[in-house]
Amino acid sequence: MSEEPAKTVYDELIASPRVLLGPGPSEANARVLKAMTTPMLGYLDAEFVQIMDDTVGLLRRVFGTENSLTLPVSGTGTAGMEAALTNVIEPGDSVVVGVKGYFGERIADIAARCGGVVTRVEAEWGTHIPAEKIAEAVTKVSTPKLVALVHGETSTGILQPLRDAVEIAHQNGALFLADCVTSLGGQPVEMDALGIDIAYSCTQKCLAGPPGLSPISFSERAVEVIRNRKTPIQSFYLDMTLLENYWHGEKRSYHHTVSMSLIYALREALRVVLEEGLDTRYERHEHNARALLAGAKAIGLQPAAEEGYRAPMLTTLRIPDGIDDTIIRQGLITDYGIEIGAGLGIFAGKAWRIGLMGESSNQRNVMLVLNALEKLLIASGHKVEQGTAVHAASQVY
- The domain locations on the chain are 30-274, 277-396
Which string of b and e fits 96-127 if b means at least 16 CB within 10 Å?
bbbbbbbbbbbbbebbeebebbbbebebebbe
H/E stretch holding 264: helix 260-276
pLDDT tens-digit readout, 245-288: 999 988 899 999 999 999 999 999 999 999 999 999 999 999 99
**Sign (positive/negative) of CA torsion 271, 277, 283, 288?**
negative
Instruction: Please check whether residue 116 is in contact with residue 95, taking contact to mean a CB–CB distance below 8 angstroms.
Output: yes
pLDDT of 2 above 70: no
DSSP 94: E
Q: Phi first, then psi: what are they for 309, rounded to 5°?
A: -135, 25
Residue 182 has pLDDT above 60, yes or no: yes
| Arithmetic mean of pLDDT, 387-394 | 97
DSSP state of 187: B
- pTM equals 0.95
- pLDDT interval class at 8 (50, 70, 90): confident
Q: Does domain 30-274 have CATH number 3.40.1550.10?
A: no
* pLDDT digits 0-9 by tens, 42-89: 999 999 999 999 999 999 999 999 999 999 999 999 999 999 999 999
Indicate the SS3 state at residue 366.
helix
- From 3.90.1150.10, 3.40.50.300, 3.40.50.1970, 1.20.1110.10, which CATH number describes the 277-396 domain? 3.90.1150.10
Chain-centre distance of CA 172, in angstroms? 28
Q: Are 341 and 326 in contact (CB under 8 A)?
A: no
Cα 175 from chain centroid (whole Å): 21
In this structure, the dihedral spanned by the alpha carbons of residues 188, 193, 197 and 203, taken in order and rounded to 10 degrees, is: 20
Fold match between domain 30-274 and domain 277-396:
no
